[in-house]
Amino acid sequence: MLRSVAIFSSGFSQRTVKVIRHIVSDFSSKGIKLFIYDRTGEYIKHDAGRKAEYFSDPADLPAGIDIILSIGGDGTFLETMMMVKNLHLPVAGINTGRLGFLANIYEEEICQSLDRLYNLDFDLVERSLLEITEPAGKFGGYDPSALNEVTVQKSGLSMITIHLYNDDVYINTYRADGLIISTATGSTAYNLSAGGPILPPDNNSIIISPISAHNLTVRPIVLPGTARLKLIMEGRNNEYIATCDYRVEKFPYSQQLQVIQSAEKLKTVMLRGRDFYSTLRDKLMWGADKRN
């Protein structure tokens, strides 16, 4: 049985607040110890929130927490990942956003889903992360890790030229609007929109997909998770844009980028009876055919 749960949300729509109140009421009645992120708790402190404790820094969370609930959409899920990555807490996403591919517990099934979580009727899926190692230090003020993707993009109207290496082995030169370096988890995000392949989330490969390449022969490629990528950029402007999931920075062209697969993994919750392929069919209409 679940004994201790943390709750995080960064969006506070009526739907989200309603779901948080329901979770706090349900889990409190089951005797579960609850820890709610401060900003989230502000919306429920006067009613259901009295049954919980609050935290502002994940490092202050006590040991022994079983899972953290991410209430919102996939953007909230990515924020939750950044908060607890170093704590190795499994993340369960409850969708109150739009598509909710990562946040795959449905709002309309919240009652039975909470019971299943309480009874540990779920599996943990380990997902690989990317890490920017050059430039060193934080990215956008945060840990330089990405669950979905790292991208390099042009900062103006003209295309960017990107020379890609694995260690010192030359791979290719891309003349395009940008380049996506994606995890398997991110294969259904920006990579999908750019025509890249879809991989199941427990796959450790790295996907390279160009964004609007000005070349008919350039296609996405899948590299092993051991790849150590170096990107050297050229362009007509003074700088290029780099993203690490939802965080954005600009760098001069003299700054190369190095990206590896992180030694850390993120554990996510998947209710039993559900799987990656059913989510593909339900959320992205994969394989939709009236004959099926």
Active site residues: 74
Task: Name the β-bridge partners of 230.
Answer: 165, 258
Going by C-alpha positions, the residue among 262, 26, 290 that lies closest to residue 7 is: 26
Q: How far is CA 5 from CA 33, 67, 122, 152, in A?
A: 6, 5, 15, 37
Q: Write the DSSP assignment of 151-205 as a string of letters.
A: EEEESSSS-EEEEEEETTEEEEEEEESEEEEE-SGGGGTHHHHTTPPP--TT---
Q: Is 253 in contact with 134 (CB distance < 8 Å)?
A: no
C-alpha–C-alpha distance, residues 286 and 72, integer Å: 23
C-alpha–C-alpha distance, residues 8 and 81, integer Å: 10
One-letter amino acid for residue 232 of the chain: I
Q: Is 253 in contact with 240 (CB distance < 8 Å)?
A: yes
- Taking the alpha carbons at both ends of the chain, their separation in whole angstroms is 39
C-alpha–C-alpha distance, residues 68 and 22, integer Å: 16
Task: Name the β-bridge partners of 162.
Answer: 174, 233
Q: How far is CA 199 from CA 23, 59, 226, 276, in A?
A: 32, 33, 17, 10
